[in-house]
């Protein structure tokens, strides 16, 4: 058989056959005096086996390992690993489809998704409650509430190095056990909005810092309080960017809340 005939029998392309020759996966047969390769039935059998293994999902390197081991023991091991990998992919796809179904239900029920979507079910529940509370308030939603949602979505997706990941569990536990917690949070957001144009020495700065501390549930404080040596001005990285995104008086209120929390846990 010539290469085209071999490829047709095995159901592959001549280009694939040449590639298998180049990488040493399929031995190259002797050539006739006219330069043409001459393939035997054994070549067709081996090529068909290569195709079947590739279709199972094995890489070409794994196929080579299987072919080298005539006893077939390597094939069993590779197939077991492949099956486990496919099971992991299947579970990942199942979870993704469940998440997509949840998002589609949100669209059906509310007509649209929140600006931060998609987020975890836990954050989605929190954002839904924030929307309900905001809808009951007079006037527009505090700008700090929208900023808070952006920050929570960011921290959940890419928490800073060394961050304590228990903050979200603590937050959701606190909000879930107290139906009025989100409403109280909106009172704090409104205080921060009032500081947007205020100077750092405005007396409302200290009151806002104390309001933050009073709002935080005890089970959440341990996840949020930095070490005694931590200072926003010298922390660098994420902390610097976070404080730079706040108005001066708002940043002063956050620094004041951190100092009060540090004093509380000493």
DSSP per residue, 167-229:
HHHHHHHHHHH-TTHHHHHHHHHHHHHHTTTS-TT-THHHHHHHHHHHHS-HHHHHHH---TT
The secondary structure element, H or E, covering residue 4 is helix 3-10
Percentage of the chain modeled with pLDDT above 90? 21
pLDDT in tens, 154-212: 877 766 655 555 666 667 666 666 668 888 899 999 999 999 999 999 999 999 999 99
Give pLDDT, residue 98. 84
Instruction: Identify the DSSP state of 32.
Output: P
Give pLDDT, residue 142. 94
Read off the pLDDT band of 89 (50, 70, 90): confident
CA nearest neighbour of 150 among 117, 182, 174, 183: 117
Burial of 62 (0-12, 13-18, 19+ CB in 10 A): buried
Predicted TM-score (pTM) of the model is 0.61
The C-alpha atoms of residue 219 and residue 241 are separated, in whole angstroms, by: 27
Which is higher by pLDDT, 32 or 10? 10
Give pLDDT, residue 157. 73
Residue 16 has pLDDT above 60, yes or no: yes
Percentage of the chain modeled with pLDDT above 70? 77
Give pLDDT, residue 114. 65
Residues 6+ apart with CB under 8 A from 153: 116, 119, 123
CA distances for 59 relative to 55, 65, 163, angstroms: 10, 10, 38
Residue 31 has pLDDT above 60, yes or no: yes
Find which of 84-98, 213-227, 247-261 is predicted with most confidence, using mean pLDDT. Answer: 247-261
């Amino acid at each position: 058989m010539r290469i085209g005939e071999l490829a047709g029998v095995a159901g592959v392309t001549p280009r694939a056959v040449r590639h298998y020759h180049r990488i040493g996966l399929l031995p190259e047969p002797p050539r006739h005096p006219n330069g043409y390769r001459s393939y035997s039935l054994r070549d067709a059998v081996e090529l068909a086996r290569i195709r079947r293994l590739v279709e199972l999902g094995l890489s070409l390197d794994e196929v080579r390992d299987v072919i080298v081991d005539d006893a077939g023991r390597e094939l069993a091991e590779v197939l077991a690993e492949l099956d486990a990998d496919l099971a992991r992919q299947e579970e990942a796809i199942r979870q993704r489809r469940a998440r997509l179904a949840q998002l589609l239900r949100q669209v059906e029920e509310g007509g649209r998704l929140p600006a931060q979507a998609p987020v975890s079910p836990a954050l989605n529940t929190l954002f839904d409650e924030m929307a309900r509370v905001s809808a009951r308030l007079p006037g527009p939603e505090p700008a700090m509430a929208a900023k808070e949602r952006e920050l929570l979505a960011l921290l959940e997706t890419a928490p800073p190095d060394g961050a304590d990941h228990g903050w979200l569990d603590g937050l959701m536990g606190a909000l879930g056990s107290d139906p009025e917690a989100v409403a109280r949070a909106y009172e704090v957001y409104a205080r921060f909005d009032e500081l947007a144009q205020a100077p750092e020495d405005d007396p409302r700065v200290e009151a806002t810092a104390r309001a933050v501390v009073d709002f935080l549930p005890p089970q959440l404080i341990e996840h949020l309080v930095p070490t005694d040596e931590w200072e926003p001005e010298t922390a660098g990285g994420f902390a610097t960017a976070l404080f730079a995104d706040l108005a001066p008086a708002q940043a002063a209120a956050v620094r004041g809340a951190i100092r009060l929390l540090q004093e509380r846990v000493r």
